[in-house]
Amino acid sequence: MRELIEKANILQESLPYIKEFHGKIFVIKYGGSAMHEEELRESFAKDVVLLKYVGINPVIVHGGGPQISKTLEVFGIKPKFINGIRKTDQITMHIVEMVLSGDINKDIVALINRFSGRKIYAVGLSGRDGRLLKAKKLDKEKYFSELGLPVPEDDIGFVGEITDVNEELIHTLLEHNFIPVIAPIGVGEKGEAYNINADIAASEIATELKAEKLIYLTDTQGVKDRKGNLISTLTKEEAEKLIKEGVIREGMIPKVKSALKAIERGVKKVHIIDGRVKHSILLEVFTKEGIGTEVVA
**Whole-angstrom Cα distance, residue 274 to residue 277?**
6
In tens, the pLDDT along 160-194 reads: 999 999 999 999 999 999 999 999 999 999 999 99
Q: Which residue has the higher pLDDT, 224 or 136?
A: 136
| pLDDT surpassing 80 at residue 12 | no
- The pLDDT assigned to 94 comes to 96
Closest CA to 270 of 291, 296, 238: 296
| pLDDT surpassing 80 at residue 3 | no
- pTM score above 0.85: yes
- Domains of the chain (ranges; CATH) run 20-295 (3.40.1160.10)
Strands 213-218 and 178-183: unpaired
**Whole-angstrom Cα distance, residue 41 to residue 45?**
6
Mean pLDDT of 267-275: 91
Q: Tell the burial category of 104 from Cβ atoms under 10 Å away from its Cβ (0-12, 13-18, 19+).
A: buried
| Residue 126: strand pairing partners | 183
In degrees and rounded to multiples of 5, residue 140 shows phi and psi of: -65, -35
In tens, the pLDDT along 45-98 reads: 999 999 999 999 999 999 998 999 999 999 999 999 887 789 999 999 999 999
- The pLDDT assigned to 45 comes to 95
- The pLDDT assigned to 6 comes to 64
